[in-house]
Amino acid sequence: MVTLHVERMIAAPPDRVFAWLADPANLIVAPMVVRTGWAKDSAAPGVGAVREVIATGMWFREEITAYDPPRSYSYRIVKAVPAFNNHGGTLTFTPSGDGTHVDWIISYAHPIHAGGKAMEAVSARLLPWNFRAILAGCAKALER
């Protein structure tokens, strides 16, 4: 099992940071993401909503499993290529001075048929880079 942790201070209020990061359209700022958005059959943002992401060498559907604006939200991958097992992530938004501290924790495993430990070694290097780019994109968009 891989556990990743990225965090960043963003000089904007928690409600704006939460809204920006919860909108799948904004995930496009990640270097590997090609297309993203709410799935056609998805409910409005909130528990049960499903987002789809197409990235270089990857495709996945994520279901929102907890949604508590502007404090936190969690998601899990329900389908992916390459396959992920037990993939889940939680973003927590904590007011701090004039800004928001974002704490993003992700855990997952790749099954053996999807490359197992070898794929985990690769994804554990690539994914944090993309998550940090998303947080940087949020800061760039909101810190004006």
The most confident of 4-8, 43-47, 125-129, by mean pLDDT? 4-8
Provide the CA 79 distance to its chain's centre, in angstroms. 15
More confident residue, 86 or 135: 135
pLDDT(59) > 90: yes
**pLDDT value at residue 115:** 87
More confident residue, 119 or 20: 20
More confident residue, 108 or 7: 7
Q: What mean pLDDT comes out for the span 87-112?
A: 94
Task: Locate the DSSP E strands across the chain.
Answer: 2-10, 33-38, 50-55, 58-68, 72-81, 85-96, 99-109
**pLDDT value at residue 3:** 94
Provide the CA 141 distance to its chain's centre, in angstroms. 17
pLDDT(144) > 80: no
In this structure, CATH architecture of domain 2-142: 2-Layer Sandwich (3.30)
Nearest alpha carbon to residue 104 among 76, 136, 72: 72
**pLDDT value at residue 41:** 87
C-alpha dist (Å) from residue 117 to 59, 109, 114, 120, 131 = 19, 8, 9, 5, 21
What's the pTM? 0.93
User: Domain locations in the chain?
Assistant: 2-142
